[in-house]
Amino acid sequence: VKTMSGRRSRGSVSEEEINELISRLQTLLPTARRRGSSSASTTKMLKETCSYIKSLHREVDDLSDRLSDLMSTMDNNSPAAEIIRSLLR
Amino acid sequence: MGAPSSSTKAFKQGFLRSFLLSLRSCRNGAMGLQERKRAVRSSADIAMATTRGSGAMWPQALLAAASSSSSLPWPRRLPAAATVKTTTRRKNMARRRCLQRRTTTSSGEIARRLVRKRTKVLRGMVPGGELLDGASLLREAMDYVVHLRAQVAVLRRVSNAMQHRPSSHHMTGPFHSPRFLMSVPCMQIAKHNHVIHFDLYHHDSCSGCCTTSTVENRDDRKGSSLGWKPRIERWQQSEPPRSVCRMAKKILYCSEA
């Protein structure tokens, strides 16, 4: 939901908007402590966001490595492989 | 983290479809292992970016990076030549400072420097982040995180399903992976103007580790499997392995709406 786009008139963004974004971001992160969410500090949020994204990237890498290994060992005669072959042709 | 929203679900379905389709090219046995790994990774990225579409900035950046070189490690940055400089340097600095303004502690200067440093790191992690000011960067980061999570979830289910696939001429008990694999035909059935959904949220009945997906024909919510029959019959005409037909029938009569 895009809100408050009108407040950009002076090229600056209001503090409340930033705060709102930070607290919304906080709810996304797995390690968020939700007691009195206003205490989220910017630096901490930024740091957690960065490390969360990094760990997600790593997961994607691991999973795609796993997938490519699985694909290479797929038994060529298995019905599963046959299905995929015929359907993805 | 709350129930997945319907837009996340739609994203996962679209992503799965695009990803599986692009995997087709990776099944070529002539690829070396490293090459295939890179191909799978960029298939995932490209599928994620194209499914997300134009609702955010990062998909374009991700696509640009993926197409220019599929061997870039994380984070994928825009090549310098492709960076669009739409604002002056001073404006960019002012925008970036809006995040720092939020820090009002007495050790303000140090905190502001930290914020600046961390913001820079975040820019590197979000595709296209270099162009964004503080608030947009946060919004993009949130959007990116949500879709990254969805991507991870789908990839995990796909690899679980493939791990539990039956080996040749031998069917494992639960039809989880066949069910998943059989749902792939729905992409073909879409040609027949049925709207097919991957239901990735259907009950995970097998200790949560396998993908259970059912195919629902939107036109008939009573779980009709009518959409399958033409396909299966065509297979029967061209004599697919018998086990395939058996699997298909079992899935047809097992899966509920």
- Both structure tokens of B47: 């599928």
Could you give the CA distance from residue B182 to residue B215 in angstroms, rounded to a whole number?
Answer: 9
3-state secondary structure (DSSP) of residue B214: strand
In which domain, by residue range, is B149 found? 7-72+107-162
**Which of A32-41, B100-109, B120-129 has the largest mean confidence?**
B120-129
Indicate whether B96 pLDDT > 90: no
B47 within a domain of the structure (yes/no): yes
Chain B contact probe: residue of A50, A52, A61, A82 with most B CBs at under 10 A? A50
ipTM score of the complex? 0.72
Place of tokens 């992409």: B187
A29 touches B121 (CB < 8 A): no
Mean pLDDT across the stretch B123-146? 88
B211 within a domain of the structure (yes/no): no
B120 within a domain of the structure (yes/no): yes
- The sign of the torsion formed by the CA atoms of B165, B167, B168, B173 equals negative
Chain A contact probe: residue of B33, B138, B156 with most A CBs at under 10 A? B138
Q: What is the pLDDT of residue B7?
A: 80
**Which of A39-48, B53-62, B89-98 has the largest mean confidence?**
B53-62
Indicate whether B211 pLDDT > 60: no
B59 within a domain of the structure (yes/no): yes
Residues of A in contact with B20 (CB under 8 A): 88
* Neighbouring residues of A59: CB distance < 8 A, sequence distance ≥ 6: B152, B155
Q: What is the pLDDT of residue B108?
A: 77
Could you give the CA distance from residue B254 to residue B59 in angstroms, rounded to a whole number?
Answer: 39
The model's pLDDT over B9-45, given as tens digits with 9 standing for 90+, comes to: 888 888 888 888 887 766 666 678 888 888 888 889 9
User: Number of structural domains, chain B?
Assistant: 1
B202 within a domain of the structure (yes/no): no
B236 within a domain of the structure (yes/no): no
Tell me what the pLDDT averaged over chain A comes to.
Answer: 71
Could you give the CA distance from residue B152 to residue B144 in angstroms, rounded to a whole number?
Answer: 12
3-state secondary structure (DSSP) of residue B197: strand
- Both structure tokens of B152: 């991870």
Least confident window among B99-103, B119-123, B214-218:
B214-218
Could you give the CA distance from residue A85 to residue A16 in angstroms, rounded to a whole number?
Answer: 54
B149 within a domain of the structure (yes/no): yes
B221 within a domain of the structure (yes/no): no
> Which residue does chain A place closest to B116, by CA atoms?
A43
- Residue B56 — φ and ψ, nearest 5°? -150, 175
Torsion of CA B119, B121, B124, B127, to 10 degrees: -50
Tell which A residues from 1 to 40 touch B, by Cβ distance under 8 Å: 11-13, 15, 17-19, 21-22, 24-25, 28-30
Question: Is the CB of B94 inside 8 Å of chain A's CB atoms?
Answer: yes
B61 touches B78 (CB < 8 A): yes
Q: Do B118 and A47 touch (CB under 8 A)?
A: yes
The model's pLDDT over B219-237, given as tens digits with 9 standing for 90+, comes to: 334 433 433 344 434 434 4
Question: Is the CB of B118 inside 8 Å of chain A's CB atoms?
Answer: yes
Question: Is the CB of A57 inside 8 Å of chain B's CB atoms?
Answer: yes
Minimal C-alpha gap between A41 and chain B (Å): 8
Q: Do A49 and B145 touch (CB under 8 A)?
A: yes
Tell me what the pLDDT averaged over chain B comes to.
Answer: 63
Higher per-residue confidence, B152 vs B26: B152
Question: Is the CB of B129 inside 8 Å of chain A's CB atoms?
Answer: no
Mean pLDDT across the stretch B150-165? 83
pTM to 2 decimals? 0.61
